[in-house]
């Protein structure tokens, strides 16, 4: 079975689900999962797990992400980006200087609280928010707490005197679950103006950046040439922060039979340990205080 992680470059105009659907056809396998949805109008890095690596998707999802994009002050939309209808507008009479922009962006760093946009896949009472929105219904949205490591300008803003709008170009380091378009709206609120996210690219996710991301067309070419494994990364890329133990033949034989291990056998004292055999991560084990043993947390592959 084909196993590993492919950092896909998701192009604009397709959903993350589209990427998985197309990859299943290209790679001739159903066992594929992605790590963190990208909206259709957003491009960038989308790490995709194949085969046994699908069991590591949650670890890819939990890693921080970096985006670059643009916020335009002067109008707001139903979707908080350019996909929606304009619902508010107000002129930017005098453009904001860099010092004001930088200080405002800084207010949105650290641990912050967000209200997910109505046009999102967050579920409330078993229904996705966008389903309520499309039906013209309103519902109380749950708060979510996210961490913004950095939110900075990457080049000078642009002021459109005719439209009386100002566009700010940013880079943001965000934790899992962050809605960048909501950050754009909240940035506008701090300046008492409607705002919209007008451009977004994810430049890093799951430890992969844009330089490593591969288009679907390139993956198809590699598959046809029989070299697709050259662009696949091992499961370890998703689990690199977890301490590892290189198993002996005896350990491996025990693990295949579902054995638990004592601390002395593994010579570690950590909550979770990555079990490797012949340079390949086979499982994660975690410490059980009651049994006083390391027991299986997640088995990726227990076959030779």
List residues with catalytic annotation: 39
Nearest CA to 38 out of 213, 238, 234 is that of: 213
Tokens of 187: 């940035």
DSSP 125-155: TTEEHHHHHHTT---PPPPEEEEEEEEEEEE
Show the DSSP H helices in the chain as ranges.
16-27, 57-62, 98-106, 129-134, 180-190, 216-225, 236-239, 249-256, 263-266
Whose structure tokens read 């998701």? 10
Dist CA 151 CA 180 (whole Å): 10
Dist CA 294 CA 269 (whole Å): 10
Query: Three-state DSSP class for 208?
Result: strand
Q: Which residues are paired to 151 by β-bridges?
A: 172
Dist CA 91 CA 234 (whole Å): 51
Phi-psi group of 110: left, alpha or beta (phi > 0 → left; psi -120 to 50 → alpha; rest → beta): left
Dist CA 267 CA 36 (whole Å): 35
Helix (H), strand (E) at residue 52: none
Query: Three-state DSSP class for 59?
Result: helix
Whose structure tokens read 């013209």? 136
């Amino acid at each position: 079975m084909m196993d590993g992680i492919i950092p896909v470059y998701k192009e604009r105009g397709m959903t993350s689900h589209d990427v998985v659907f197309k990859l299943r056809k290209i790679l001739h396998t159903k066992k594929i999962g992605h790590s963190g949805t990208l909206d259709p109008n957003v491009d960038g890095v989308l790490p995709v797990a194949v085969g046994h690596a699908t069991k590591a998707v949650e670890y890819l999802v939990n890693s921080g992400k970096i985006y670059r994009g643009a916020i335009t002050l002067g109008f707001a939309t139903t979707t908080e980006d350019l996909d929606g209808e304009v619902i508010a507008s107000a002129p930017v009479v005098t453009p904001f200087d860099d010092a004001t922009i930088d200080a405002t962006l800084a207010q949105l760093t650290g641990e912050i609280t967000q209200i997910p946009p109505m046009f999102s896949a967050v579920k409330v009472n078993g229904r996705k928010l966008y389903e309520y929105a499309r039906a013209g219904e309103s519902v109380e949205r749950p708060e979510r707490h996210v961490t913004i490591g950095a939110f900075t300008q990457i080049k000078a803003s642009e002021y459109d005197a005719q439209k009386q709008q100002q566009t700010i170009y940013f880079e943001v380091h965000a934790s899992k679950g962050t809605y960048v378009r909501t950050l754009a709206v909240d940035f506008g609120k701090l300046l008492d103006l409607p705002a919209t996210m007008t451009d977004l690219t994810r430049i890093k996710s799951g430890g992969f950046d844009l330089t490593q991301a591969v288009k679907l067309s390139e993956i198809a070419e590699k598959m046809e040439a029989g070299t697709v494994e050259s662009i696949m990364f091992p499961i370890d890329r998703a689990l690199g922060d977890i301490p590892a133990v290189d198993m002996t033949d005896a350990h491996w034989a025990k693990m295949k039979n579902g054995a638990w291990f004592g601390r002395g056998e593994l010579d570690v004292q950590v909550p979770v340990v990555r079990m490797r055999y012949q340079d390949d991560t086979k499982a994660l084990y975690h410490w059980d205080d009651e049994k006083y043993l390391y027991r299986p947390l997640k088995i990726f592959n227990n076959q030779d």
